[in-house]
Structure 1
Amino acid sequence: MTETSLPFEPALTVFMLVKTSPEWLGFSVDRRFELLAEQFTPILKKHAAGIALRFFDVEFYATRVTDVWMWDAKDHHAYELLVEDLRETAFWDRYFDIVEILPGVENAYARNYDRPAINA
């Protein structure tokens, strides 16, 4: 297991590969941050006990996706509840196209074989 500053030990990490829509890019930067504060941040706060998010910008290096949203989840149900809330907003497949969802378990190979994780 890795050390974490999260209030929980993640059982699941999900990499959401997303692409900004022309509608999102048509908003001013100020308006984008207003929309994040109005619609996205309340969902993050609601699920903070079981979910943590990190944003990665990849548009500098990729064309299929512009961002990666990395979600650490306390358990599968916490992640499922988060997605249910996100799907009720314009952030899901309107402002951002959800291109691919890649769930994973950190160091599962090592735990499954009762071995130490390989880390740099």
Structure 2
Amino acid sequence: MITVFVLLKTTQEWLRLERSERNRIADSVLSSVLSDSTVTLRMFDAEAFTTNCTDVAMFQAEDMQAFYFTIERLRDSELITRPYFEMVQIIPTIEDGYKAFEKNIPSQS
């Protein structure tokens, strides 16, 4: 399992929309972007704490290809192409990767 954090920044065009319209667009886009059931998404608000990004999307995927295909669908969507959001940074991670590494180190006795 991989976890990827995508730092996003809203555009003024997004902020000018009524909240109900934002929700309608996001729900519609994300349901098609997440059509691969092996990828999940959690969203976190950051705008009150940093100027680097306004939102952090946390994707979890069974494998890198599933994540990649999800990001391709996202990049093709109106959330990015309009643009309503800009992708600031993509940070791939492996949870507790050091533990897996340590299990594979030959014993030094």
Provide the residue aligned with 1:59 in structure 2.
Answer: 47
**How much is the aligned-residue C-alpha RMSD, in angstroms?**
1.4
Instruction: Please state which structure has a larger fraction of its residues in helix.
Output: 2
State how 1:60-75 maps to structure 2 within 5 Å.
Answer: 60-75=48-63
State how 1:29-44 maps to structure 2 within 5 Å.
Answer: 29-44=19-34
- Runs of at least 4 residues off by over 6 Å: none
Provide the residue aligned with 1:118 in structure 2.
Answer: none
How many residue pairs get aligned? The number is: 103
Provide the residue aligned with 2:75 in structure 1.
Answer: 87
Could you list the per-position Cα deviations for residues 17-43 of structure 1 after superposition, in whole angstroms to 9, with x for gaps in the alignment?
000110100100000011112222222
For residues 83 and 43 of structure 1, the distance between their equivalents in structure 2, rounded to whole angstroms, comes to: 8
For residues 99 and 86 of structure 2, the distance between their equivalents in structure 1, rounded to whole angstroms, comes to: 34
For residues 2 and 43 of structure 2, the distance between their equivalents in structure 1, rounded to whole angstroms, comes to: 17
For residues 75 and 62 of structure 1, the distance between their equivalents in structure 2, rounded to whole angstroms, comes to: 30
Q: TM-score if structure 2 supplies the norm length?
A: 0.88
Provide the residue aligned with 1:100 in structure 2.
Answer: 89
1:26 equivalenced with 2:16 (yes/no): yes
How much does 1:92 deviate? 2.1
Gaps of 5+ in 2: 105-109
Higher radius of gyration, 1 or 2: 2
